[in-house]
Amino acid sequence: MLPTLTLIVPCTTGTRDVDPRLQVAGRPLIDWTLDAARQATVVDRLFVVTNDPKVSELAWAHEAESIARPVESEDEPASLETIGLHVLGTLAKSEGFHPEFVIFLDPAFPLLAPTDIETSIALLRERNADSVFSATPLTGYVWRRREGEWVALERDYHDPQRHETATDSVVENGAIYAIRPRVLQRTHNRVGGKIVVYRMRFERTLRIQGPRSLDLVSRLCGT
């Protein structure tokens, strides 16, 4: 079995997104994802993709490797796809390294558990799939706002006597993606081919997005 390649891809420091050095329950944000990845049995090579020396130091402290981001502009940061292809190409050229899967982790999800990563890869292997993404399950009936109006997607609310079963719906949450390198190289997309979904426990899908979420997630990380 070929090894896996795991890439933790923080935002570029100084952008409006979440700084990987932000303190969460007394530790840098990225530490939590590094811990989860290090404990996951399916993680072989672990890299943090960054041009920030301080973030690289955090990676090395967790026995992870650091690799530079591809060339990008402040207005248009490199996509996950561009980063994945860049790292694959660099490692293939320098080491002849060809992994079974590329796993992308977003460090803005500090409640991510090792079992989330392990189960995602288990799904890929068990179902002989090409890619997987983590998702937050939805319960009840889904509505969507269109042109200023709310539209029911799954039932006819005009007929209260009609009872319909809510569909099995999820929201792609961005915490985990994994894909076979050949599919990433062919499609230039983080999902493709035969796709499977990993449904995460709700509390682990909480993402750091601002002061309120930071306070809540910090409390949960500290328990």
Contact 129, 195 (CB under 8 A): yes
Check whether 14 has a pLDDT greater than 50: no
Check whether 75 has a pLDDT greater than 80: no
What is the mean predicted confidence (pLDDT) over 127-143? 88
Inter-CA distances, 191 with 20, 43, 57, 78, Å: 25, 19, 31, 17
Structural domain boundaries of the chain?
Answer: 5-138+168-221
Contact 31, 22 (CB under 8 A): no
Q: What is the pLDDT of residue 15?
A: 44
Smallest CA-to-CA distance from 46 within 3, 1, 80 is with 3
Distance from C-alpha of 114 to C-alpha of 197, rounded to nearest angstrom: 17
Distance from C-alpha of 2 to C-alpha of 125, rounded to nearest angstrom: 12
Distance from C-alpha of 215 to C-alpha of 24, rounded to nearest angstrom: 8
Smallest CA-to-CA distance from 11 within 39, 47, 43, 51 is with 51
Class of domain 5-138+168-221: alpha beta
Q: What is the pTM of this model?
A: 0.87
Tell me the backbone φ, ψ of residue 146, rounded to 5 degrees: -130, 120
Check whether 45 has a pLDDT greater than 50: yes
Check whether 151 has a pLDDT greater than 80: yes
Q: What is the pLDDT of residue 186?
A: 96
Q: What is the pLDDT of residue 103?
A: 94
